[in-house]
């Protein structure tokens, strides 16, 4: 049996096999090798009666179908071999620095692939992963009505992809804050926490902005929210993040303290020194998703505790490898 590594916060639901999803549905999850896609495949396979089909560009434990979503022929092959009721589209070039350097690849992956899927599956419920960084206001705490503005190329592609998704009758756009979690490092995912570990492993001092605020959220809370979305009839746009605002420096400091990492590897800086621009006050309000799903996002401290409990052994093994 595939191990879920699920955090204690959501374990009771898994144990009880609780599911409000009446009929069996087919759910296609793209980016099944990534942080969110991988975890969503594992969790939904355990907690929903539906058929879960994972797809990604490369092979992987949760990949049933290898496909390049920028290729219409591959998307057509998915269309003729699977008949999904729900699509959870997580595949993307998710690193802002890569998007700045390889804009054509970023556009193809983040916009063209999304458009290909929207065209191939106009009747499915389409759940799309955008980003919290689409907002850029001087005050933060943005709700879903806040004005959007692309401060870098990655955000520009996400906003353009959202335009394709909003044309679908049954769509959900998720705008998550930074999602953190441990992923086996042989997988290609370089999420926030894995980048932090990679730096520590290379004994590299991490420059972390003291003035950029955000609402990081653990990946297992994101997949719990996904489960509740597919069990409900909600549609529209939803922010997803912790209820507390924290600076990137403070968040890294908390994690490093919890794992017992040497604090000399962390240096607080002003975000003006960074090359890729991001909103400074990138804080969001996730009140709408919690209200509509009747779900309270746990405190950040509990999420960090859960990250430690579920990944500490793997992290130590990874750091010991050279
Ligand atoms: N992680 C965060 O902090 C965060 C925050 C806000 C929004 N988001 C968004 O949330 C989503 C999930 O994030 P994540 O961290 O799970 O991303 P991730 O770990 O980078 O995974 C993305 C996956 O997309 C797949 N992919 C890339 N190009 C593809 C293509 N042409 N065809 C098919 N698959 C392709 C990759 O597959 P292979 O590995 O098989 O090549 C990869 O596993 C993304 O859309 C991201 O932009 C993430």
Please check whether residue 33 lies inside any domain of the structure: yes
Answer yes or no: are the C-beta atoms of 89 and 117 closer than 8 Å: yes
State the first-to-last Cα distance of the chain, in angstroms, to the nearest integer: 30
**206-238 burial: b if 16+ Cβ within 10 Å, else e:** bbbbeebbbbbbbbbbbbbbbbbbbbeeebebb
pLDDT of residue 281: 82
Amino acid 189: pLDDT: 67
**Residue 104, phi-psi category: left (phi > 0), alpha (psi -120 to 50), beta (remainder):** alpha
- For the chain, give the secondary structure using H, E and C: CCCCCCCCCCHHHHHHCCCCCCCCCEEEEECCCCHHHHHHHHHHHHHCCCEEEEEECCCCCCCCEECCCCCHHHHHHHHHHCCCCEEEECCCCCCHHHHHHCHHHHHHHHHHHHHHHHHHCCCCEEEEECCHHHECCCCCCECCCCCECCCCHHHHHHHHHHHHHHCCCCEEEEEECCEECCCCCCCCCCCHHHHHHHHHHCCCCEEEECCCEECCEEHHHHHHHHHHHHHCCCCEEEEECCCCCEEHHHHHHHHHHHHCCCHHHEEEECHHHCCCCCCCECCECCHHHHHHHCCCCCCHHHHHHHHHHHHHHHHHHHHHCC
Name the residue among 247, 315, 254, 313 with its Cα closest to residue 283. Answer: 247
In a domain, 8, yes or no: no
State the Cα–Cα distance between residues 29 and 56, nearest whole angstrom: 9
Q: How far apart are CA 187 and CA 97, in angstroms?
A: 19
Give the domain extent around 257.
24-316
Degrees to nearest 5, angle at CA 223 with 17 and 53:
80
pLDDT score recorded for residue 78 = 96
Residues with CB under 6 A from ligand 1: 30-31, 33-37, 56-58, 67-70, 90-92, 94, 109, 113, 129, 131, 176, 178-179, 188-189, 191-192
What's the confidence (pLDDT) of residue 282? 87
Instruction: Quote the CA–CA distance of 102 and 93 in Å, as a whole number.
Output: 10
CATH of the domain at 37: 3.40.50.720
For residue 200, is it within any domain?
Answer: yes
Q: Is 260 domain-assigned? A: yes
Number of domains within the chain: 1
Within a domain: residue 11? Answer: no
Give pLDDT tens digits along the chain (322 positions): 343 444 455 553 443 344 455 578 999 999 999 999 999 999 999 999 889 999 999 999 999 999 999 999 999 999 999 999 999 999 999 999 999 999 999 999 999 999 999 999 999 999 999 999 999 888 899 999 999 999 899 999 999 999 999 999 999 999 999 999 998 766 666 788 988 998 898 889 888 899 889 999 999 999 999 999 999 989 999 999 999 999 999 999 999 999 999 988 899 998 887 777 666 788 999 999 999 999 999 999 999 999 999 999 999 998 888 6
- Nearest Cα to Cα of residue 51 among 13, 83, 16: 83
Report the pLDDT value the prediction gives residue 187, as an integer from 0 to 100. Answer: 66
* Burial (CB count within 10 angstroms: exposed 0-12, middle 13-18, buried 19+), residue 16: exposed
Please report whether residue 19 resides in a domain.
Answer: no
pLDDT at 266: 92
Q: What is the dihedral of CA 254, 211, 319, 313, to 10 degrees?
A: 30
Question: Which of 30, 32, 34 for mutating ligand 1's site (highest number of atoms within 8 Å of CB)?
Answer: 34
Examine residue 1 and state whether it is found in any structural domain, yes or no. Answer: no
Could you tell me the distance, in angstroms and rounded to a whole number, from the CA of residue 283 to the centre of ligand 1? Answer: 22
N residues, the chain: 322
Enter the pTM of the model.
Answer: 0.93
Q: 264 CA distance to ligand 1 centroid (A)?
A: 31
| pLDDT value of position 11 | 52
Q: Does residue 17 sit within a domain? A: no
pLDDT of residue 6: 44
Ligand 1 nearest-atom number relative to CA 59: 40
Burial (CB < 10 A; 0-12, 13-18, 19+), residue 103, is: middle
Ligand 1, atom nearest to 95 Cα = 20
Q: Which residue has the tokens 């458009």?
A: 115
């Amino acid at each position: 049996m595939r191990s879920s590594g699920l955090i204690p916060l959501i374990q009771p639901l898994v144990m009880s096999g609780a599911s409000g999803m009446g009929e069996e549905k087919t759910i296609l999850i793209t980016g099944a090798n990534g942080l969110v896609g991988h975890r969503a495949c594992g969790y939904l396979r355990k907690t929903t009666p539906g058929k879960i089909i994972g797809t990604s560009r490369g092979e992987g434990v949760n990949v049933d179908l290898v496909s390049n979503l920028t290729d219409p022929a591959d998307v057509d092959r998915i269309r003729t071999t699977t008949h999904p009721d729900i699509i959870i589209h997580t595949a993307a070039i998710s690193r802002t620095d890569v998007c700045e350097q390889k804009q054509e690849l970023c556009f193809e992956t983040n916009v063209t692939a999304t458009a290909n899927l929207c065209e191939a599956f106009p009747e499915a419920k389409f759940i799309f992963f955008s980003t919290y960084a689409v907002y850029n206001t001087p005050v933060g705490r943005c709700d879903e009505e806040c004005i959007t503005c692309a401060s870098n190329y990655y955000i520009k592609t996400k906003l353009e992809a959202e335009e394709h998704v909003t044309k679908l009758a049954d769509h959900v756009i998720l705008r998550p804050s930074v999602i953190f979690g441990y992923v086996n490092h042989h997988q290609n995912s370089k999420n926030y926490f894995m980048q932090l570990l990679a730096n520590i492993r290379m004994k590299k001092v991490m420059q972390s902005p003291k003035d950029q605020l955000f609402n990081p959220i653990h990946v297992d809370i994101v997949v719990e929210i996904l489960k509740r979305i597919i069990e409900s009839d909600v549609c529209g746009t939803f922010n997803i993040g912790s209820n507390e605002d924290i600076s990137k420096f403070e968040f890294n400091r908390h994690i490093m303290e919890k794992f017992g990492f040497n604090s000399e590897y962390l240096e607080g800086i002003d975000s003006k020194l960074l090359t890729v621009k991001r909103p400074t006050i990138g804080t969001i309000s996730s009140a709408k998703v919690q209200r509509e799903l009747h779900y309270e996002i746990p405190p950040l401290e509990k999420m960090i505790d859960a990250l430690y409990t579920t990944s500490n052994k793997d992290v130590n093994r990874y750091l010991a490898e050279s």
